[in-house]
Structure 1
Amino acid sequence: MARSYRMEKREQAMKEIRDRILQATIQLHDEKGPAFTTFADIAERAGVGQATVHRHFATTGDLVRNCGMHVWAEMRPPVPEDAEACFAGLHTREEKLARLIAETDAFYERGWQRLTLAARDSDMIPELDGFLRAVGAGIEALVREALSPPHPDPRAVGVVTTLVSLPVWKDLNRLEMAPSELAALKLRLLLCGIAAAEAA
């Protein structure tokens, strides 16, 4: 009984240390970016030795993968399996595109800083590329659903995906416009882009 209790206490202590390391890593990734966060930085922020960090996470990739699960839950990116439900009850193209704008705007508001740092560092940390591809797949699924039915023109999908991308979102948000005016501008841009793509 005593041995079992000691094992449970030890496992709990290990879990608490692991959680501290992950929280420290997420904070540092948000501040500096994953590629510029060292194991020494993490150890100092978590209040543990570097060897302890390495015992729990052998490589930067291991840390990024494990942090990614927490970050994904916080950012709540769109996922392909939810795309259809996102547009339930909407019938016109304008309604669907307005919902697409609202969904991508809300997502970027939650995660633009992390996405920017991940994109910057993805060439150095392959695990970030997988994270960004998953985010991209969710955005594209929303775009395809917004343009359906009928089966969306691939060129239109490409144009709309570009127009609702993070870089364009950041540039448009620098305009000194009221939120409603900006949303209306984005809708006009999407409609013009689709018309041009479908006419090409």
Structure 2
Amino acid sequence: MVSVAPFIPHLHVDGRFAADYINGTIISRSDYFANLAFCQFGKIMSRQYTMGKRAASQVETRERIVQATMALHDEKGITHTSINDIAARAGLGAATVLRHFPDTNALVTACGQHVAAEMAPPDPEDAPELFAGLSTADERLGKLVRELHAFYERGHVRIEIAEQDRSRVEALDRFLTMLDDGRRALLRAAMAPDDPDDALIEALMALSSICVWKSLRDSRFAPDVAAQFHTAILRRAVDALIDAGFV
């Protein structure tokens, strides 16, 4: 069997390209290149394995930072959470946190991706499925109210925290604006049979906010009764606005 020990290539007098191994073995040109390829492949695979481990470690570190940040935001609020707080909770140095997330907006954006997945806000793209088989605006509005109530139940803690610091953190404003835009689009889809104008949609935005849901929840209505009551409020508001000529 040909040795694959380290070698020094040279050209012999008979013209054969060969290698001089530690044990003095001489190999042909084809064997030399086969061994060279084997060695180079081993180096490449080793380097790729090292890079893969490093990348996995980076992902794990980022996730530790994000999870620590989310927990602290829930406990202390966003602007009251410092980099040192996050580093201590994650078991890392402050410099490591800053290397991955150089400012609050970067941290909030990364956390927002996790928060959105956990909260699962109603998606306007799901409107056709959401309102399938519901022909009247009353039926569609009732369905949307139930979806919004479920969403508020899942996400009200983090929505309230985000609202507190919305004016101070740009990423929070973008996140809450995204939620508002989604709700606006769903209201328009729900009211499509009535061909609503912008003024009517904005009135429904105010009346379908999380603040209204909180008031109903704090009044100790059963969830299904609260949803029915809320739907009735919205429907009566629509009728009143139309009758008064505001929309």
User: Shorter-chain-normalised TM-score: which range?
Assistant: over 0.9
* Preserved CA contact (<8 Å) 1:155 1:197: no
Q: Report which stretch shifted further, 120-129 or 172-181.
A: 172-181
Superposed structure 1 runs of 4+ greater than 4 Å apart:
none
Matching residue of 2:158: 114
Q: Could you give the per-residue CA deviations for residues 110-164 of structure 1, whole angstroms, max 9, x where no partner exists?
A: 1011011111111110110000000001111111111112421333212221111
Matching residue of 2:9: none
1:80 aligns with 2:118: no
Matching residue of 1:152: 196
1:14 aligns with 2:58: yes
Matching residue of 1:33: 77
* Preserved CA contact (<8 Å) 2:121 2:151: yes
* Preserved CA contact (<8 Å) 2:137 2:193: no
Q: Report which stretch shifted further, 176-185 or 56-65.
A: 176-185
Q: Tell me how large the CA RMSD over aligned residues is.
A: 1.4
Bigger proportion of residues as helix: 1
Q: What is the distance in 1 between the residues matched to 2:89 and 2:192?
A: 48
TM-score normalised by structure 2 residue count: 0.77
> Shift of the alpha carbon at 1:191?
1.4
Amino acid at match of 2:225: E
Q: What is the distance in 2 between the residues matched to 1:135 and 1:146?
A: 16
Q: What is the distance in 2 between the residues matched to 1:148 and 1:10?
A: 52
> Shift of the alpha carbon at 1:56?
0.6
* Preserved CA contact (<8 Å) 2:134 2:140: yes
Bigger proportion of residues as strand: 2
Q: Report which stretch shifted further, 17-26 or 79-88.
A: 79-88
Q: What is the distance in 2 between the residues matched to 1:5 and 1:184?
A: 58
1:90 aligns with 2:134: yes
* Preserved CA contact (<8 Å) 1:43 1:53: yes
Amino acid at match of 2:51: M
Matching residue of 1:174: 218
Q: What is the distance in 2 between the residues matched to 1:100 and 1:187?
A: 9
Amino acid at match of 2:118: E
Greater RCO structure (CA 8 Å; 6+ sep): 1
Higher-Rg structure is 2
Instruction: Give secondary structure in 2 for the equivalent of 1:36.
Output: coil
Matching residue of 2:25: none
Following superposition of structure 1 onto structure 2, how do residues 126-137 of structure 1 map, counting pairs within 5 Å?
A: 126-137=170-181
| Structure 2 stretches lacking a partner, 5+ long | 1-44
Matching residue of 1:71: 115
- Number of matched pairs: 200
* Preserved CA contact (<8 Å) 1:79 1:138: yes
Distance 1:166 1:114, change over 3 A: same
> Shift of the alpha carbon at 1:84?
3.1
| Structure 1 stretches lacking a partner, 5+ long | none
Amino acid at match of 1:33: G
> Shift of the alpha carbon at 1:188?
1.6
1:124 aligns with 2:153: no
1:187 aligns with 2:246: no
